[in-house]
Amino acid sequence: MSTKTPKIIYTKTDEAPALATYSLLPIVEAYTKTAGVEVETRDISLAGRIIANFPDFLKEEQRIGDALAELGELAKTPEANIIKLPNISASIPQMQAAIKELQSKGYALPDYPEEPQNAEEEAIKARYDKVKGSAVNPVLREGNSDRRAPRAVKNYAKKNPHSMGAWSANSKSNVVSMPGGDFFGSEQSVTTEKAGHVRIEFTAENGEVTVLKPQVALQDGEIIDASVMSKKALRSFLEEAIERAKNEDVLFSVHLKATMMKVSDPIIFGQVVEVFFKEVFEKYGAVFQELGISANNGLGDLHAKLAKLPAPQKEEIEAAIKACYDKRPPLAMVNSDKGITNLHVPSDVIIDASMPAAIRTSGQMWGPDGQPKDTLFTIPDRSYAGVYQATIDFCKKHGAFDPATMGSVSNVGLMAQKAEEYGSHDKTFQLPASGIVRVIDQDDKVLMEHQVEQGDIWRMCQVKDAPIQDWVKLAVNRAKATGVPAVFWLNEDRAHDNQLIKKVHKYLPDHDTTGLEIHIMPPVDATQFSLDRIIKGEDTISVTGNVLRDYLTDLFPILEVGTSAKMLSIVPLMNGGGLFETGAGGSAPKHVQQFEQEGHLRWDSLGEFLALAVSLEHLSNTSDNTKAKVLAETLDEATGLLLDNRKSPSRKVNELDNRGSHFYLAMYWAQALAAQDKDAELKEQFTALAKALTENESVIVDELNAAQGQAMDVGGYYAPVFELAAKAMRPSTTFNSIIEKL
Ligand SMILES: NC(=O)C1=CN([C@@H]2O[C@H](COP(=O)(O)OP(=O)(O)OC[C@H]3O[C@@H](n4cnc5c(N)ncnc54)[C@H](OP(=O)(O)O)[C@@H]3O)[C@@H](O)[C@H]2O)C=CC1
Ligand SMILES: O=C(O)CCC(=O)C(=O)O
Ligand SMILES: [Mg+2]
């Protein structure tokens, strides 16, 4: 990697953000070129990652390099300047769909072996599993997280408050969690003094020892913890929760993170499906096994596989499923028109986005009848569930939040180097039998041990010392920069947090904290504290571990500014580089569906605009490029103007969409560059461009809007055909030719 030519890596991802890139990137490339900045793309899409992992199955011309591995290495260097768009964290049904699409395009990829029958299939599954779930973010996140709503975005939301569903004091919505037998209740934690390693062993009741993980390397001062969720306790809890929803006449829903917690949460999800449809699974277990049905993949997969049965048997089972539906409480729906429930696909209801969306809409979800209804939100583990119950209680007491007046909660998140639960996949196991799981160090000393039973989920997490120090520093810096109180959301009664609190006390004195307000509070108290401030219009910094980073950076943005897509999301990499994530949200599959059906893309690229500005600013600092600084400043101006003039995409067809908003960004950016006097060359270059764009505004917007209102075919969902997608996303010849002249 040369340090001479300043370079920005722009990632090519999936779904809506990938479509938006076809339109935005040519503009970005044209503008940044004027500062001598090179923008290179790297394909980290689900399809791209699949292809990169199976070169031996493919023709020479089909092979591509492993861009993710390359960027993972780059992220560890000071030169890194990466703009990371959201990507699919694939569940098994999504993996299978992507593989199928690629096969149909001539890629001789193997099928995903759900139940591998031999060593060869095991190896194929292992390769696919590397691509499955949240496989991108943890590789790139070599730094902690700084997410906040920029001033312009917050002010815009105050002036143009989004709709908020009213809250009633009589709302029957609540969160329910296990009373015991969960990860929270069983957690043990130790801090290693010296670097070394541990192994994880399972000893069955007959004394037979299985090594679950031969070696996990540990650094000086690393915190490790282990916990277990009891299958028995989970199932009896679920049975009670389902009964409770029925008795209280509310919807039943479950909220997990099956993407990032790709080993544990699909299993928990599967238990929910099995318990909800208990009679069906008990009666037809053998048939299901024969059909390769796993409840972990959800009802969608179950129905697809049932289709293989002869009609009478299929109908019998479907009738049994229907009988369960009738007996059980109504399920919360993902799409009530299509009959897709909360239990259809494990990755459809992702807790970080789904809980805030419900809180925003009066604490309700959609029922099978297409009507909103109070809901029992099932979040089995207690570690973080209390945050949502506290927020719900607050809304019942004070009514819905008012975006016009509410304060802001930003986040400093401990995330670097696969911190905490989100790095636990390779140390998570479902136990085959009863026995004891032990974590044993290099001197054969048992550090932690748990009694387990068949089917229990056991996991170990790690967090290294250097990321913790960096996180404490980042928290202090944000508190200093804003003068706002910073709250560490840590519970001294939780084993892991207890170790972390010791480190916070150890590292805070490394910084000058005079005049700063810094607290340490358990999550529920911290929620209360932050919400008491928020309704007074006051801001608070949440300083959290990795999971709450994820949860809170959707919760507060969705309440405050309507979506997490408008967040500034910076990852100052620990070795000096910068990773700039766009927004905090995902890849919004329903946006693609709308685009395919009616040619309107409602994806808002605001997160990309904000990320590009900070990326250019970072580049100007690291490479002394003053033009890049001017580009960054004027881009921020343009983004502010775009918000003020309401040129963000609309949700409705035949109104300005993603492409139209890109045109306005380009026009305002060019106008700001033409108006500035810091760089005469840029001024001159952009004066003519600004003039051309301004004069052609109505022609261009007409051309862009005329492309809407019809079905779009971009040649694929996971791997669109470049020419088709580029044509669909750049339908204004006038606009294209003006940009090309730059
Ligand atoms: N950083 C990453 O890489 C992340 C990836 N994901 C992945 O994204 C996929 C979908 O996840 P999901 O939990 O549904 O979360 P999303 O954040 O994609 O969706 C929640 C809703 O937020 C709104 N939204 C999000 N981003 C935008 C945007 N830029 N413009 C306009 N609206 C937006 C949309 O609502 P509406 O249109 O109704 O207003 C959307 O349906 C999954 O594959 C998941 O793994 C999820 C989170 C982060
Ligand atoms: O990596 C993922 O699957 C999702 C990431 C996410 O939701 C976040 O970082 O906010
Ligand atoms: Mg998230």
Q: Of the candidates 421, 574, 602, 599, which has an alpha carbon nearest to the alpha carbon of residue 494?
A: 421
Pocket test for ligand 1, best of 563, 579, 580 (most atoms within 8 A of CB): 563
Under DSSP, the state recorded for 329 is P
Question: Closest Cα to atom 3, ligand 2: which residue?
Answer: 134
Count Cα neighbours of 325 within 13 Å in the Cβ-side half-sphere. Answer: 16
Quick one: average pLDDT of 200-204? 98
What is the 3 state secondary structure string of 245-297?
A: HHHCCCEEEECECCCCCCCHHHHHHHHHHHHHCHHHHHHHHHHHHHHCCCHHH
> Alpha-carbon distance 571 to 582, whole Å?
11
Mean pLDDT estimate for the chain: 96
pLDDT of 4: 62
Of ligand 1's listed atoms, the one at least distance from the Cα of 87 is: 3
Give yes or no for a contact between 134 and 347, defined as CB atoms under 8 angstroms apart. no
Kindly report the protein residue whose alpha carbon is nearest to atom 42 of ligand 1: 88
Of all protein residues, whose CA lies closest to atom 4 belonging to ligand 1?
Answer: 586
Q: State whether the beta carbon of 594 lies less than 6 angstroms from ligand 1.
A: no
pLDDT tens digits, 301-320: 999 999 999 999 999 999 99
- Both tokens assigned to 93: 């049904």
AA letter at 456: D
Residue nearest to atom 8 of ligand 1 (CA): 586
- The ligand whose atoms approach the alpha carbon of 546 most closely is 2
Residue 218 pLDDT: 97
Does residue 211 contact residue 166 with C-beta atoms inside 8 Å? no
SS3 percent helix, strand, coil of the chain, rounded to 5, is 50, 20, 35
pLDDT at 5 over 80: no
Q: Which amino acid, one-letter code, is at 524?
A: V
Whose structure tokens read 């080993």?
263
pLDDT at 717 over 70: yes
Rounded CA separation 66/603 (Å):
28
- What b/e sequence results for 97-116 when a residue is b if at least 16 CB atoms lie within 10 Å of its CB, and e otherwise? ebbebbeeeebebbebbbee
Is the pLDDT at 115 greater than 90? The verdict is no
Query: Ligand 3: distance of its center to the CA of 628 in Å?
Result: 30
Instruction: Provide the residue count of the chain.
Output: 742
Ligand 2: distance of its center to the CA of 565 in Å? 12
Which ligand approaches the C-alpha of residue 585 most closely? 1
Tokens 């993972």 -> residue? 72
Measure 318 CA to ligand 3 centroid, in angstroms. Answer: 35
pTM for the model stands at 0.96
Whole-number pLDDT of residue 525: 98
Q: Is the CB of 652 under 6 A from ligand 1?
A: no
Cα 515 to averaged position of ligand 3 atoms, centre (Å): 32
Spatial CA neighbour of 227 closest among 546, 462, 552 = 462
CB 38 within 8 A of CB 5: yes
CA of 390 to the centre of ligand 3 (A): 20
User: Looking at ligand 1, which atom is closest to the CA of residue 260?
Assistant: 45
Cα 264 to the center of its chain, rounded Å: 17
Q: In terms of DSSP bridges, do strands 81-84 and 568-572 run parallel, antiparallel, or are they unpaired? A: unpaired
State in Å: Cα 259 to ligand 1 middle: 13
The response to whether residue 353 sits with its C-beta less than 6 Å from ligand 1 reads yes
Say how far apart CA 47 and CA 87 lie, in whole Å: 11
| Distance in angstroms (rounded) separating the CA atoms of residues 465 and 459 | 20
Within 10 angstroms of residue 616's Cβ, the number of other Cβ atoms is 31
Please work out whether the CB of residue 137 comes within 6 Å of at least one atom of ligand 2.
Answer: yes
For ligand 2, the distance from its centroid to the CA atom of residue 424, given in whole angstroms, is: 15
Question: Taking Cα atoms as reference points, which of 370, 382, 381 lies closest to residue 336?
Answer: 370
pLDDT at 319: 97
Which ligand has an atom closest to residue 11 CA?
1
**Centroid of chain to Cα 43:** 18
Question: Rounded to whole angstroms, how far apart are CA atoms 545 and 144?
Answer: 10
Of residues 239 and 590, more confidently modeled = 239
Q: What is the mean pLDDT of residues 713-726?
A: 97
Structure tokens at 47: 């399809």
Atom of ligand 2 minimally distant from the CA of 260: 3
| Cα separations in angstroms, 349 against 148, 253, 552, 699 | 24, 9, 16, 42
Predicted confidence band of residue 1 (pLDDT cuts 50, 70, 90): very low
In the structure, how many helices (H) and strands (E) does the chain have? 27, 24
Under the phi-then-psi rule, with left for phi > 0, alpha for psi from -120 to 50, and beta for the rest, what region is 243? alpha
CA 213, distance to chain mean position in Å, is: 28
| Mutation choice for ligand 1 from 83, 87, 89, 95, CB with most ligand atoms inside 8 A | 89
d(C-alpha 657, C-alpha 20), whole Å? 10
Confidence of residue 348 (pLDDT cuts 50, 70, 90): confident
Rounded Cα distance, 343 and 421, in Å:
23
| CA-angle at 307, arms to 303 and 311, nearest 5° | 125
Instruction: Inform me whether the pLDDT recorded for 3 exceeds 60.
Output: no
Would you say the CB of residue 584 lies under 6 angstroms from ligand 2?
yes
Q: Give per-residue pLDDT as tens, 267-302.
A: 999 999 999 999 999 999 999 999 999 999 999 999
What confidence tens digit (pLDDT) does each residue in 173-182 have? 999 999 999 9
- Closest-approaching ligand to the CA atom of 581: 1
Give the distance (Å) from ligand 3 centre to CA of residue 122. 31
Grade residue 114 by pLDDT with cuts at 50, 70 and 90.
confident
Residue with CA nearest ligand 2 atom 8:
550
List Cβ neighbours of 147 (8 Å cut-off, separation of 6 or more).
410, 411, 413, 549, 553, 567, 568, 569, 570, 584
> Per the structure block, which two tokens stand in for 460?
């170990």
Of 397-411, 447-461, 586-600, the range with the lowest mean pLDDT is: 586-600
CA 318 – ligand 1 centroid, Å: 32
Question: Which ligand 2 atom sits closest to the C-alpha of 549?
Answer: 10
Ligand 3 center from residue 412 Cα (angstroms) = 14
Atom of ligand 1 nearest to the CA of 590: 41
Euclidean distance between the first and final Cα of the chain, in Å? 28
How far does the centroid of ligand 2 lie from the alpha carbon of residue 380, in Å? 20
Taking the C-alpha atoms of residue 381 and residue 383, their distance in angstroms, rounded to an integer, is: 6
Q: Is the CB of 611 under 6 A from ligand 1?
A: no
ipTM for this model: 0.97
Average pLDDT for residues 145-149, to the nearest whole number? 97
Q: Please work out whether the CB of residue 352 comes within 6 Å of at least one atom of ligand 2.
A: yes
137 CA distance to ligand 2 centroid (A)? 7
Q: What is the pLDDT at residue 626?
A: 96
Q: What residue's CA is closest to ligand 1, atom 21?
A: 588
Q: Once rounded to an integer, what is the mean pLDDT over residues 312-340?
A: 95
Angle at 11 between CA 9 and CA 12, to 5 degrees: 140
DSSP 369: T
The number of the ligand nearest the C-alpha atom of 346 reads: 1
**Nearest Cα residue to 729 out of 660, 667, 659, 664:** 659
| DSSP string for 373-439 | EEEEEE---HHHHHHHHHHHHHHHHH-S--TTT---EEEEE--TTT-GGGG-GGGEEE-SSSEEEEE
In this prediction, residue 675 carries a pLDDT of: 98
Contact 249, 220 (CB under 8 A): no
* Residue that has been written with the tokens 């600004």 in this structure: 690
| 516-564 per-position pLDDT tens digit | 999 999 999 999 999 999 999 999 999 999 999 999 999 999 999 999 9
pLDDT at 2: 41
Q: Give CA–CA dist 632/627, Å, rounded.
A: 9
Find out whether the beta carbon of 550 lies less than 6 Å from any atom of ligand 2. Answer: yes
Q: Any bridge partners for residue 341, and if so which?
A: 333
Tokens of 711: 């079905």
